[in-house]
Amino acid sequence: MAGSKEHDEWGKSTDLDPDDSEELEEELEEDEPPTPEEPTPKRSRTDREETQAADEIELEDYFDDEDSDDYEGLDAEGEEYLDLEPEIEDLGDGLPDDYWSYIDEEMGYADINPDNLPKAEVDLQAQIRGLSPSELDDLDLDTLTDYCRWGAARTYLEHGDESSFEKIALTLVNSTDRSPALDYADITLALICRMASRSDFQAAFDLLTRLGEVAPESPELVERFRGVLTIQQGRITEGLELLNQLAERYADDACFLLALGEDLCGLGQWEEALEYLEMARDIARGSNDQELLSSIDNAVQYAQRHIRYQEAEGL
């Protein structure tokens, strides 16, 4: 085969002994790759249903009565969802896949073990995550817990229905019966970012007040995203100054500086982003936090690639 060292050597040889031909044929046969095994057949839907737990939740109970007859059951296993990971340009090639996917996959969820939640609630959310848009529309959201409503919101989002996602997320931001499994500050930020992305800055700035209420332990979040929104609105110098004041106050916090750097990467402010990321890297090196350092190095690499690209293009 072309490109194979063994093939090239044999092709150039003119001194082969005919008596060695049988031995060579045996060696070549031994070198042939094994026949691939037959793939394991997929389990049928019937087989999977037979292995489900006896206490499986009846999702029909959470549909509006007038539409409940249309429900024919779910099989969430093997469902294909729309890929919501941000599209990465060639400049980002070589970065670990989870660098971009982590924030989206974990959006809105608190850092707790799902095993600590009621099994019925976890199972119900898992089934909701496999619903079609029409089935989601038939859900009676008022009967669901916050955790399950967030599952419905996420599923709407994966189907491309931003309006329904925002409608449910707004009810969660104002919820008084909060789930320990949800990060309400993260949900609020998801709403703020989507409002800003369509230039609805008044609504985004208004939600900053709510952000302070759902995350009183993190007052820096409000100031940080006030700076981010200000830059997005086009008041770049003013926004950068707000973030710089924050960076000075949290100059010893590598995680916060990393967050600022990532914010500025998202805003296309590469030089300023790199400045904060390098500050964060110096702190992480001093603390020997390898996991944090790895995250910072990924962000630094991404910012540097964009800076080199802009320099090459004369931007």
pLDDT digits (tens, 9 = 90+) for 203-238: 999 999 899 999 988 889 999 999 999 999 999 999
Give residue 288's pLDDT. 82
- CA atoms of 248 and 276, how far apart (whole Å): 10
Helix orientation angle between 290-313 and 270-287, rounded to the nearest 10 degrees: 160
Give residue 12's pLDDT. 34
- CA atoms of 206 and 212, how far apart (whole Å): 11
DSSP assignment of 149-172: HHHHHHHHHHTT-HHHHHHHHHHH
- CA atoms of 284 and 251, how far apart (whole Å): 12
**What stretches in the chain show pLDDT beneath 50?**
1-25, 27-29, 31-34, 36-56, 67-103
Q: Are 139 and 174 in contact (CB under 8 A)?
A: no
Contacts of 186 (CB under 8 A, 6+ apart): 107, 108, 109
Give the number of other CB atoms < 10 A from CB of residue 311: 9
- CA atoms of 81 and 157, how far apart (whole Å): 10
DSSP tag of 18: G
List the domain boundaries for the chain: 54-89+98-182, 251-315
- CA atoms of 131 and 151, how far apart (whole Å): 10
DSSP tag of 214: H
Give residue 65's pLDDT. 54
Element (H, E) at 251: none
Paired tokens of 231: 């830059």
- pTM reported for the whole predicted model: 0.63
Give residue 287's pLDDT. 86
Q: Which residues pair with 278 in a beta bridge?
A: none
- CA atoms of 183 and 176, how far apart (whole Å): 14
Element (H, E) at 288: none
